[in-house]
Structure 1
């Protein structure tokens, strides 16, 4: 039908343009954030773009929901502004007749939102956390760049090396400044190499000197020379088994776990799909143009409604995780309440458009029906 095809075609153009703009904005923000983490040593500088890509992929459910919401609001507002809605209403179409073409357009996007929220979000988070943990578990000597002073992982030592081997296990002209047991220790050696001793990793220094100075001036210096000296280099030869946070766990593992943290994360993932469905109905109800407000008045109101709904969704995750509310109760109150409000609002607007005025003229007190004229028989 012309009604369905013309609406879906314009929605497709608007959705595509909005998605490109939002993805570009988010990628720029994530690039700045990831570069900041790389400068602090939390992310490998060589993996900046990979971390940024995983982060943007994790935010795709929110980006898709917002793009769908803006596309519907923008398209319908343009139709109101250009009087196209008046033509459809005059031809017998009500506002409720727009629900079917909107959902016929939105169902592939809704499926993609569900897949990204249930599968893509935890996978992207697990990949990002894996790269960050692997980078943070490096030994201190592996953090050092030849010719540069670098801090250790605990920020209690400073390393400097002149040259290193291609495998990064051996270095020459090693300098270490550290604070240990109330002492300021300066160690220098001609060479050093990495050795694994049990689960720990040590830096073995050769042919060097060690200077110990107390932080408080209570005693003098202590200088010692050594042929071989070992100091812990930080990190471990084996990755430390850490508890995986709920946001990086698969949806199936969350379903098996009945803890409040798992339920909070599961409620957020399912809530993203329910929120996207409600956003389609809300976009239909809030789309209108008031000449006194301006063209962007309803769009600002729609974005304000989106921000409130999305923040309530995130707030509900923390409430469920803390045990303040149950997952079913909160989802019923939030998503069910928004759905009822959207349906009731849609019904009100649809009935207003379907109402037909009775013949008559409008006066100050209301509608007056015309009265038959009286004829004076004497004239």
Structure 2
């Protein structure tokens, strides 16, 4: 039998705590991101479709990097409570020693590390590419859905500006429109009671058709300045400037990183691989850090665990930057950070064993 009653109890409690920690962290982080994204939607910078994609990208990114520490702290929480309530004493008497705990948590970490690997190595790069492409397409389109009534909407780096008082009930027409543009180096202003967009699906260009308004062209005080009334006036919207886009390393497929000899690409690859490796490294650390005497409590070691985790994550970030800049040798990579975590777990386990052995010898000497 692969899992006993004790094993299933430990796995159930750990994954229950894991679900709570992940849910709370996702809600806290996504709440702030949603406020910022909704502000961009209200300002017309992005559409609701892009916002949905960006939220999904944020969730995938957070899951890939939240799961390892959440698994770490869930084991700390469950084992710490069991030590505090003397349940671990009973489990030790039943034969559930340190190796048994590692066996259970290693089997639990296998599917979790596989999920993190899929998210970080496959899903996240593809999601970033899709989000970048969708944002680039949105920049090349000029739609009513991107105009915020009651506010100035800037385009083409401020060279083209539209103010819309409000839209009609059908949503396909504009009311009380103000347009500022540049024509042959001279400023122009259009004011109209109504307007509408045409040619949205026409490759020849998009036009804003204004009705019942005035046009002010040129600089006031110069001979070229002119004022004219019109019943209908069309102005071609500026084409989106072709921007030279550079693909970020974080959006490159993992296969491209594996085939590259660039040290920066290798550092990015190892940074991605560090996420599933951290599941096992932090798991090895969590078991000895959760250990405490029945009356000692868990909070002292929990504080130590938070400090160790903060140092671990900062070392991972520094190791990736050092490798990319050539500060550390290529063979060293960033593997030494999870290696240090494993070494620290062995040291804490040995120190605990010596401490408990000394305590047992002292207690045995008193009894004799």
Shorter-normalised TM-score: what interval? 0.7 to 0.9
Q: CA deviation at 1:155?
A: 2.5
1:235 aligns with 2:263: no
Equivalent in 129, 132, 150 of residue 132 of structure 2: 129
Say if 2:290 and 2:298, in contact at 8 Å, map to a contact too. Answer: no
Q: 1:118 & 1:329 partners in 2: Cα distance?
A: 21
Question: Residue 310 of structure 1 aligns with which residue?
Answer: 313
Distance 1:222 1:212 in 2: 6
Q: Show structure 2 runs of 5+ residues with no match.
A: none
Matched-pair contact (CA < 8 Å) for 1:185–1:211: yes
Find the partner of 1:36 among 34, 39, 45: 39
Assess if the C-alpha contact under 8 Å between 1:206 and 1:229 holds in 2.
yes
Alignment equivalent of 1:150, drawn from 149, 153, 158: 153
Q: How does 1:1-379 map to 2 (within 5 A)?
A: 1-90=4-93, 94-139=97-142, 143-144=146-147, 149-160=152-163, 175-178=178-181, 183-188=186-191, 201=205, 203=207, 210-214=215-219, 219=222, 222-223=225-226, 231-235=236-240, 242-289=245-292, 295-326=298-329, 328-353=331-356, 356-357=360-361, 361=365
Cα distance per residue 1:298-345 (max 9 Å; x no partner): 333323322332233233333333343355413132222222222222
Aligned-partner Cα distance in 2 for 1:352–1:147: 71
Q: TM-score, normalised by structure 1?
A: 0.77
Counterpart position of 1:375: none
> Which structure would you say has the larger RCO, counting Cα contacts within 8 Å and 6 or more residues apart?
2
- Cα distance, 1:13–1:53 mapped onto 2, change above 3 Å: same
Per-residue deviation, 1:81? 0.2
TM-score normalized by structure 2? 0.79
Contact 1:143 / 1:152 at 8 angstroms: preserved in 2? no
Per-residue Cα deviation, 1:43-63 (whole angstroms, up to 9, x for no partner): 213543442122112221112
C-alpha deviation, 1:163, in angstroms: 6.8
Aligned CA RMSD, in angstroms, stands at 3.9
Query: Residue 179 of structure 2 aligns to a residue in which SS?
Result: strand
